[in-house]
């Protein structure tokens, strides 16, 4: 056991017991709900809405402008999701509590606010912890170990899943092989506490649905899967940048989502702009939701509004209304 892992166990000392020698040795205030572990539908959205084949959750990135501007704190997120938008399942972004993964007091307060508001934690999106597809074995293993603390934090918070990045520099085959090894290793650790590890189409090779499906087939672990995002299909940008420059090569989003759905443990409902009828301009939600339903998906679909023309609040509401309207119409 690495020394940093022992340090974490010491920090969470009052929570120990019950997982057995093969586990991390922790017990948690809020046990992982059974309906989060699979794609089983639960009615956590507005009860007045028509029945859906999925459950709506709220991705924290939808509020990233308010969070970066300090107009909202990470601890406020559960209450805002429930009381402002009527959504009782949330998805965190580790960037907004980057130094708190091992902070027992902070995590306990966050969990208390969830419980006080009747909010269920679904996943933590993890960035900035290294590339799990790094072709350098030492760097890749460091990235794997960097994610251990988020696996433990996710378990403590009652999440089912962490979302990671499988980036790497090299050829298609080299990075794919490295990603398989990195994800398998992290998946092995996460399995000890029943946590899923999922990869989103997030740029470069990961936005190539065929490449990512190949990674999943190579990993061959039940707790390692995908988070299909309706956007994020740029596989090449000007200047070779990951972000911030125009996209010069894009993968077909419908093909990509279809290729990732067999491994999906969640879906990210991305939206930027809407027409006068409330339809998403850049993505055909009827077509996309049918792909999800045809794949047998019955899990959490996270609202991720990322547009600039509407306020974050209006964008979230429009995305929610679109999911409810279209989701109820899919046969």
277 Cβ contact partners less than 8 Å away, ≥ 6 residues apart: none
Task: Determine the Cα–Cα distance for residues 280 and 329; give it in Å rounded to an integer.
Answer: 16
End-to-end CA distance of the chain: 50
Q: Which of 211-221 are b and which e, b meaning 16 or more Cβ less than 10 Å from the residue's Cβ? A: bbbbbbeebeb
Structure tokens at 122: 């679904």
Tens of pLDDT along the chain (331 residues) come to 444 444 443 344 333 333 333 333 333 333 333 333 333 333 344 444 568 999 999 999 999 999 999 999 999 999 999 999 999 999 999 999 999 999 999 999 999 999 999 999 999 999 999 999 999 999 999 999 999 999 999 999 999 999 999 999 999 999 999 999 999 999 999 999 999 999 999 999 999 999 999 999 999 999 999 999 999 999 998 877 777 789 989 999 999 999 999 999 999 999 999 999 999 999 999 999 999 999 999 999 999 999 999 999 999 999 999 999 999 999 8
Residue 150 DSSP SS3: helix
Top-level class of domain 51-329? alpha beta
> What is the Cβ-side half-sphere exposure of residue 56, based on CA atoms within 13 angstroms?
27
pTM of the model: 0.85
């Amino acid at each position: 056991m690495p020394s940093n892992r022992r340090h974490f166990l010491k920090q969470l000392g009052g929570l120990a017991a019950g997982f057995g020698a093969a586990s991390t040795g922790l017990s948690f205030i809020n046990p992982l709900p059974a309906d989060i572990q699979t794609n089983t539908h639960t009615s956590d959205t507005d009860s007045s809405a028509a029945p859906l084949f999925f459950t709506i959750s709220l991705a924290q990135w939808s509020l990233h402008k308010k969070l970066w501007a300090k107009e909202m704190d990470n601890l406020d997120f559960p209450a805002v999701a429930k009381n402002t938008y009527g959504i009782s399942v949330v998805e965190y972004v580790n960037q907004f509590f980057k130094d708190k993964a091992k902070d027992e007091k902070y995590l306990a307060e966050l969990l208390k606010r969830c419980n006080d508001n009747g909010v269920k934690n679904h996943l933590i999106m993890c960035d900035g912890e290294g590339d799990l597809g790094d072709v350098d074995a030492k760097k890749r293993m460091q990235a794997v170990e960097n994610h251990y603390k988020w696996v433990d934090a996710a378990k403590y918070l009652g999440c089912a899943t962490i979302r990671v990045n499988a980036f790497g520099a090299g050829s298609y085959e080299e990075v794919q092989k490295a990603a398989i090894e990195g994800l398998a290793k992290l998946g092995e650790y996460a399995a000890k506490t029943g946590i899923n590890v999922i990869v989103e189409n997030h740029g470069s090779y990961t936005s190539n649905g065929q490449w990512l499906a190949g990674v999943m087939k190579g990993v061959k672990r039940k707790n390692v899967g995908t988070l299909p995002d309706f956007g994020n299909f740029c596989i090449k940008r000007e200047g070779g940048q990951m972000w911030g420059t125009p996209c010069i090569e894009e993968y077909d989003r419908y093909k990509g989502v279809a290729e990732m759905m067999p491994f999906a443990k969640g879906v990210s409902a991305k939206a930027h702009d809407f027409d006068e009828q409330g339809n998403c301009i850049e993505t055909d939600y009827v077509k996309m939701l049918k792909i999800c339903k045809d794949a047998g998906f019955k899990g959490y679909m996270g609202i991720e509004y990322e547009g600039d023309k509407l306020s974050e609040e209006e964008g979230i509401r429009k995305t929610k209304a679109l999911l409810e309207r279209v989701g109820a119409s899919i046969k």
